[in-house]
Every structure is written in C-alpha cells, then in structure tokens.
Homo-oligomer: A and B are copies of this chain.
Amino acid sequence: MKLYDLELSGNCYKVRLFSALAGIEIDIVPVDFMAGEHKKSPVIDLNPWGELPVLQDDDVVLRDSQAILVYLARKYGGNQWWPDSAAHQGEIVQWLSVASNEIQNGPCAARLVDKFGMQLNKERTLEVSDRILPLLESHLTNNEWLALNRPTIAECAVFPYVATAWEGGVDLTPYKAINSWMSRIKELPGYKSMPGIE
C-alpha cells in the first residue's frame, strides 16, 4: 500500500498520523510538489485532480484525506477508530465535514498564505478560523475527544491544521480546551508529529 505524500501537507499528515496510531503499514512515496510531480505521471494518472494525498492499495485508489481515513479505518483499523453503528458514524462524519470545510478554509488556508505565499484572502481565512475555533473550544470544554468519548479518525482529520495554525498567524493561546486536547493526542501510543508541530 502506497501513500503519495508531501511532508509539509497537513492533509497528507492526517493519513500518516492515523496509520501511526492504528499501526497500519504504508509505504510513503514522497512527491516533489515544487517540481510539479503531482501534475505528472504516475500521480496524475491516479488522481486527475492533481492533489495530494493519494492512497493506492492494490486496485483501490483514493484521493481526499477524509475518504482515505474512512477507508483505512474500515479496512485495517478495527471498530475503534471508525465504528459500525449509524449513530457513531454520523457523529464522526460531522467532524470530517468540519475538517473538509471550516478547518481547510480557516487555519489551513491561513497557513497556505503565510508559509507558502498562496494568493488567498488572508482576512477571510482568519474570519473562518475565528468562527470555528470557539465552536471547537466549546465542544472540547465539555468533551475530552471530538466524538464517542474516545480518539477516532475525527481527531486525525481535525488535529493537523489546528496544531499548525500558528504557522498561519492564528493564535491558539486563548483556547485552553483545544490545547489540552492537542496534548492528549500527542500522548496517544504511536503518535507521530509533522514539521510545524512542536
């Protein structure tokens, strides 16, 4: 099983983090993003959208980090990270959507501007961050984990771009519950970090 990977991408890190926590072996294939390797064969043949990460597991090929998390957890992760029941799946998908939308367009996009010089509206990325982080803080004030009172793939989807938010100028100091939650994640057996996370 191969993960076409960019080390500095939080979306790729979601998959690396989950595979580390769940003890799933994946061959990491580094893609030279600056050289545009993701727009060339073989990556573009696997994912015509030209985005990373891409997972290839025999004849299964998936783009989108949330989809890859669901696939890996369902296939190799047992019931712990992505359970079987409707209510539990629904509870987790709420956070996959937040990862896809608010976290992506808030702290992730702010980091893309500051760290990689992407031409996005920085003010808007901070507005989105300022809306989602207090909601996350409020949830984590009343809950140790995002869903099911235990670590799930929701953590792997949301944590990477929250933990690197400071690289986009988003200050997490006021968010005590978010900081405690990040500490709990860092203490999970098998936890792996990425550049930008202390």
Contact = CB atoms under 8 A, between A and B. Distances in A.
Interface residues of A, number: 34
Task: Name the prevailing secondary structure of the A interface residues.
Answer: helix
Copies of this protein in the complex: 2
Given A67-B93, A94-B62, A86 B101 contact: no
Interface of A: 48-49, 60, 62-64, 66-68, 70-72, 74-75, 85-87, 89-94, 96-98, 100-101, 104-105, 121, 124, 135, 138
Nearest to A63: B94
Contacts of A64: 93-94, 97-98
A97 B67 contact: yes
A67 B90 contact: yes
A100 B100 CA distance: 6
A89 B75 CA distance: 10
A59 to B, nearest CB: 9
B105 A90 contact: no
A135 B104 contact: no
